[in-house]
């Protein structure tokens, strides 16, 4: 029995040092030390050994078990370390490669321009006012002096939720909402999204406007003109001439469309301004006294001006963007330029 043990030990000692992969080692371990292993069988057979030899053989068998276990564990660790080493050696690092750049998000250009406009008008004393995009017919049309059968509604066809609930077609309803809540003086700007049934290279079914409203005693067209002149030179960073063309809006009287001297060619004529030298940037006018009826202001005491500007429009002019759709296509190459 002693010889049998000795022989087993020698065979496995030789085997363990010869094996160099984890799977073979684990199989060999099971074969000798597992539940049905060779050494386990010897240990089980101890009960049949003559009593005077039992303790001696038992001691030797346990010793052999311990030794083999230790050898297996050490050999397994060594094999594992070698595998790791080979893996690292295979992954050579090219230290001359440029680093991977991390990706930074940024504010969308339209939100940036909106923030700039809020800041700029804030400096001119205008407070921020906001209204809902899903708007009542009353605020979007009715209280702006656009009754149900008025032809001006045709220019602003929109998306109807029901007969009296629409996606707002402009930011002008915020004028009414503000005046309902607050008595004069009122000096607010109202930026936000608006919706129309419109889509081409310069029109999108969803776009952004910024509305301005200033109502107080003795406000005149001169104040409007002065304020817009300051705005343009601040925003475009240069003194461009402004031109007021008579126009019509149901909520202003008189009304004007305001053109700025072409910021691209300076007025000599180019493709952007269709060779006219002028670019339309907003609609404006003196608040029609008819509106004051809806908000209970006294038209004998108060006057005011209002204007509405397309945010995409001024952003396109400032940054030379030819197509309004670029703002909404989520093309990172476009967005990352700003």
Q: Does 109 bind ligand DAH (CB under 6 A)?
A: no
> Cβ closer to ligand DAH: 184 or 308?
308
Interacting span for ligand DAH (CB under 6 A) from 60-68, 87-95, 224-232, 300-308? 300-308
Which residues contact residue 211 at a Cβ distance below 8 angstroms, ignoring those fewer than 6 apart?
Answer: 170, 171, 172, 174, 175, 189, 190, 191, 306, 307, 308, 309
Minimum Å distance from CB 140 to ligand DAH?
A: 10
Residue 200, classed as helix, strand or coil, is: strand
3-state secondary structure at position 334: helix
200 phi and psi angles, rounded to 5 deg: -160, -165
Q: Which stretch binds ligand DAH (CB under 6 A): 64-72, 78-86, 127-135, 279-287?
A: 279-287
Q: What are phi and psi of 145, to 5 degrees?
A: 70, 30
Give the residue with the Cβ less far from ligand DAH, 12 or 292.
292
- Does 191 bind ligand DAH (CB under 6 A)? Our answer is no
Residue 207 has which token pair? 């776009």
Q: Tell me: does residue 252 bind ligand DAH (CB under 6 A).
A: yes
Q: Which of 141, 231, 235, 249 binds ligand DAH (CB under 6 A)?
A: 249
Q: Other CB atoms closer than 10 Å to residue 81's CB: what's the count?
A: 10
Name which of 72 and 251 has its Cβ closer to ligand DAH.
251
Binding status of residue 170 toward ligand DAH by CB under 6 A: yes
Of the pair 37, 212, the CB lying nearest ligand DAH is at: 212
Task: Check binding of 195 to ligand DAH (CB under 6 A).
Answer: no
CA–CA distance, 214 with 316 (Å, rounded to integer)? 26
The two tokens of residue 191 are 């930026």
When asked if residue 172 is in the footprint of ligand DAH (CB under 6 A), the reply is yes
Q: Contacting ligand DAH (CB under 6 A), which of 208, 283, 311, 313?
A: 283
**Residue 76 or 130: which CB sits closer to ligand DAH?**
130
Query: Among candidates 275, 296, 315, which has minimal Cα distance to 107?
Result: 315
306 forms part of the interface with ligand DAH (CB under 6 A): yes
CA distance 179 to 227: 21
Q: What is the DSSP string of 259-307?
A: EEE-TTTTTS--TTTTTSSEEEEEEEEEEPHHHHHHHT--TTT-EEEEE
Length reported for the chain = 338
Considering beta carbons, is residue 117 or 306 the nearer one to ligand DAH?
Answer: 306
Shortest Å distance, C-beta 195 to ligand DAH: 11
User: Which residue sits closest to ligand DAH, CB atoms considered?
Assistant: 308
Closest CB to ligand DAH among residues 131, 283: 283
- β-pair type (186-195, 127-128): parallel
Q: How crowded is the C-beta side of 93, counted as CA atoms within 13 Å?
A: 4
9 three-class SS: helix
Residue from 292, 297, 307, 327 binding ligand DAH (CB under 6 A): 307
Of the pair 184, 283, the CB lying nearest ligand DAH is at 283
Q: Where do contacts with ligand DAH occur on this chain (CB under 6 A)? A: 170, 172, 211, 249, 252, 283-285, 306-308
């Amino acid at each position: 029995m002693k010889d049998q043990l000795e022989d087993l030990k020698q065979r496995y000692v030789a085997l363990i040092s010869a094996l160099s992969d984890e799977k073979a080692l684990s199989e060999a371990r099971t074969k000798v030390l597992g539940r049905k292993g060779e050494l386990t069988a010897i240990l089980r057979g101890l009960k049949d050994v003559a009593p005077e030899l039992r303790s001696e053989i038992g001691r030797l068998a346990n010793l052999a078990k311990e030794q083999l276990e230790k050898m297996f564990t050490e050999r397994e660790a060594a094999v594992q370390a070698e595998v790791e080493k080979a893996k690292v050696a295979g992954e050579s690092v090219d230290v001359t490669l440029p680093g991977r750049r991390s990706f930074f998000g940024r504010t969308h250009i339209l939100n940036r321009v909106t923030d700039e406009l809020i800041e700029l008008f804030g400096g001119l004393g205008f407070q921020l006012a906001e209204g809902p995009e899903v708007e009542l017919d009353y605020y979007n049309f009715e209280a702006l002096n656009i009754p149900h059968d008025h032809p001006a509604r045709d220019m602003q066809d929109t998306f109807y939720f029901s007969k009296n609930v629409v996606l707002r077609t402009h930011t002008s309803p915020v004028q009414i909402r503000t005046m309902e809540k607050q008595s004069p003086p009122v000096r607010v700007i109202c930026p936000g999204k608006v919706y129309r049934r419109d889509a081409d290279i310069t029109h999108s079914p969803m776009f952004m406007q910024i509305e301005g409203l200033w109502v107080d005693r003795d406000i005149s067209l001169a104040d409007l003109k002065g304020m817009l002149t300051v705005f343009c030179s601040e925003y475009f960073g240069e003194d461009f001439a402004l031109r007021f063309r008579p126009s019509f809006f149901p909520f202003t009287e008189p009304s004007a469309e305001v053109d700025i001297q072409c910021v691209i060619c300076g007025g000599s004529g180019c493709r952007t301004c269709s060779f006219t030298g002028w670019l339309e940037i907003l609609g404006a006018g003196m608040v029609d006294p008819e509106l004051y009826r809806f908000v209970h202001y006294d038209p004998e005491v108060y006057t005011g001006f209002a204007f509405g500007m397309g945010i995409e429009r001024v952003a396109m002019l400032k940054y030379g963007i030819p197509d309004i759709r670029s703002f909404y296509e989520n093309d990172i190459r476009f967005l990352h330029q700003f």
